[in-house]
Chain A
Amino acid sequence: MPILDQWNLRLDADAILRGQGADPVILRTRRPNLVKIAEQAIGEALTRVYPIVLYERYPVGSILHNSIRLLNGKEITGKAISQYLSSSKEVLVMVCSIGAELEEYASQVMETDMVHGLALYGAGSAAVEALANAACQYFEEQAAQKNWQTTIPLSPGMIGWPIEVGQPQIFSLLDGEQAGVKLTESAIMLPMKSLSLILGLGEDLNQQGTPCDYCSMRDICKYRSDHAKQDA
Chain B
Amino acid sequence: MSNTVDQTLDELKQALTDGDSNKTATLTRKSLDLGVEPLALIQNVIVPTLTQVGQDFQDFVIFLPELMASGDAAEKATAILEEALASSGQQMTSLGTVVIGTVENDVHDIGKNIVSTLVRAHGFKVVDLGRDVAPSVFLEAAQKEKADIVAMSSLMTTTRPSILSTINLFKEVELRNDYKFIIGGGSVTQVYADEVGADGFAPDAAAAVEVCKAILKK
Chain A residues near B (Cβ < 8 Å) = 17, 20-23, 26-27, 30-31, 33-34, 37, 107, 110, 113-115, 117-119, 121-122, 162-164, 184-188, 190, 192, 222
B106 close to A23 (CB less than 8 A): no
B65 close to A31 (CB less than 8 A): yes
Q: Which B residues are CB-close (under 8 A) to A117?
A: 113
The minimal Cβ–Cβ distance linking B186 to chain A, given in whole angstroms, is 8
B158 close to A186 (CB less than 8 A): yes
Among all A-B residue pairs, the 10 with the closest Cβ atoms? A22-B63, A186-B105, A186-B158, A21-B64, A187-B158, A186-B159, A20-B65, A114-B72, A164-B158, A115-B69
Q: Which B residues are CB-close (under 8 A) to A17?
A: 65
Q: Most B CB atoms within 10 A — which of A22, A26, A118, A164? A: A118
Task: Name the interface size band of chain B.
Answer: 20 to 34
Q: Which A residues are CB-close (under 8 A) to B108?
A: 188, 192
Q: Which B residues are CB-close (under 8 A) to A113?
A: 72
The minimal Cβ–Cβ distance linking B207 to chain A, given in whole angstroms, is 14
The minimal Cβ–Cβ distance linking A110 to chain B, given in whole angstroms, is 6
Q: Are A163 and B158 also in contact (CB < 8 A) when A31-B19, A119-B65 are?
A: yes
Q: Which B residues are CB-close (under 8 A) to A30?
A: 66
A118 close to B107 (CB less than 8 A): no
- How far, in whole Å, are A192 and B109 apart by their CA atoms in the complex? 11
Q: Are A114 and B113 also in contact (CB < 8 A) when A22-B64, A27-B65 are?
A: yes
The minimal Cβ–Cβ distance linking B73 to chain A, given in whole angstroms, is 9
Q: Are A188 and B107 also in contact (CB < 8 A) when A114-B71, A163-B157 are?
A: yes
Closest A-chain residue to B70, C-beta based?
A115
B107 close to A192 (CB less than 8 A): yes
Q: Which B residues are CB-close (under 8 A) to A222?
A: 63
- How far, in whole Å, are A97 and B12 apart by their CA atoms in the complex? 43
B175 at the A interface (CB under 8 A): no
B158 close to A188 (CB less than 8 A): yes
The minimal Cβ–Cβ distance linking A97 to chain B, given in whole angstroms, is 15
Checking A22, A110, A162 against B113 with a beta-carbon cut-off of 8 angstroms, the contacting residue is: A110
The minimal Cβ–Cβ distance linking A230 to chain B, given in whole angstroms, is 21
The minimal Cβ–Cβ distance linking A13 to chain B, given in whole angstroms, is 11
B65 close to A115 (CB less than 8 A): yes
Chain B 126-166 against A: per-residue CB contact (8 Å), 1 yes, 0 no?
Answer: 00000000000000000000000000000011110000000
Q: Which A residues are CB-close (under 8 A) to B206?
A: none
